[in-house]
Structure 1
Amino acid sequence: MPDFTKLVDDLKRTRDEIKLKIHLGSKDVQDEWAELEKHWTSFESRAELDKSARDVSDAVKILGSELKDAFNRIRRAL
């Protein structure tokens, strides 16, 4: 469970950093960000539910990994 909590904290921190810079990005980056925000909402909801569970579902792990990769892509683009 600590690994999952760290993942959620890392994603929140990365998301906040990117959110501060996104207004300077290109239209493509802004469009990708809008799509990621939809995924973030879904992830955050699932993460809150899974905090109390012992086993984190594979779907949430995959979504978290995809968000991490996408955040890194946007960070490199900025």
Structure 2
Amino acid sequence: MPDFSNLIEDLKRTRDEIKLKIHLGSKDLQTEWSEIERRWDSFERKAELDRSAKDVGDALQILGSELRDAFQRVRKAL
């Protein structure tokens, strides 16, 4: 579980950094950010469930990786 906790903390930190800069981005980035935020909300809800349901963990790892990739795309575009 420590790896998952590290993933969540890394995602939160990256999200906060990007959130500070996103208002300066292009409309395309703002649209992508809205979609990422929707997925982030889903991730957070599922992360809460993961504490009590082991089989959700694999799906969360995939979603977490997808979010990390999306954050990296947006960060590079800024």
TM-score, L = length of structure 2: 0.92
In 2, distance between residues paired with 1:56 and 1:49?
7
Write the distance in 2 (CA, Å) between the matches of 1:51 and 1:76: 32
Larger relative contact order (CA 8 Å, sep ≥ 6): 1
Give 2:60's aligned amino acid.
V
CA RMSD of aligned residues (A): 1.3
State the shift of 1:51 in Å: 2.8
Q: TM-score when scaled to structure 1?
A: 0.92
Distance (Å, rounded) in 1 between the aligned partners of 2:17 and 2:73: 13
The runs of at least 4 aligned residues of structure 1 exceeding 3 Å deviation read 52-56
Q: Identity of aligned pairs, percent?
A: 72
1:35 aligns with 2:35: yes
Q: Report the number of matched residues.
A: 78
